[in-house]
Amino acid sequence: MDLNTANTAIKVAIETANSLGVKFCIAVMDSGVNLVAFSRMDGGRVGTIDVAMKKAKTSALFGLESGLLGTMTLPGKPVYGLEHSNGGLITFPGGVPIKNGSGEFIGSIGVSGGTVEDDLVVAMAAAEAVADL
């Protein structure tokens, strides 16, 4: 994940967000879970900054869409309490792995600010745009 790729993901995420009429925070991390780019849209809520970053972190650490971990982290399930590891994770939708055109995992994007469904739509659009580069 380089800065140009991360900025492309942010650009597409903002375009998608604008089409939804919602203000988001967007975080892009590399495969080593390092923040590469971040954007808080004008009017984006301050509380969503940390959530977007933790969604990206969760996805980067596990190579999964963050929401897939949700049902597995419930009481009595295989990884109950996982969200308390690694300095705090988010196990609801909005964190998406990013792969390059060759299908290699290069990082993740985390989006927060709308419903979790909208967060996922925005994150998926950005990840798909990067895969098409």
Region 101-109: what's the mean pLDDT?
96
3-state SS class at 110: strand
Where does the pLDDT of residue 76 fall: very low under 50, low under 70, confident under 90, or very high at 90 and above? Answer: very high
Question: Is residue 131 pLDDT above 90, yes or no?
Answer: yes
> pLDDT (tens digit, 9 = 90+) per residue, 19-40?
999 999 999 999 999 999 999 9
Determine the pLDDT at residue 133: 84
Q: Find out whether 54 and 48 touch, Cβ atoms under 8 Å.
A: no
Determine the pLDDT at residue 58: 97
pTM: 0.95
Q: Find out whether 94 and 67 touch, Cβ atoms under 8 Å.
A: yes
Q: Find out whether 39 and 9 touch, Cβ atoms under 8 Å.
A: no
Determine the pLDDT at residue 44: 97
Structure tokens at 95: 């964190």
Q: Find out whether 100 and 131 touch, Cβ atoms under 8 Å.
A: yes
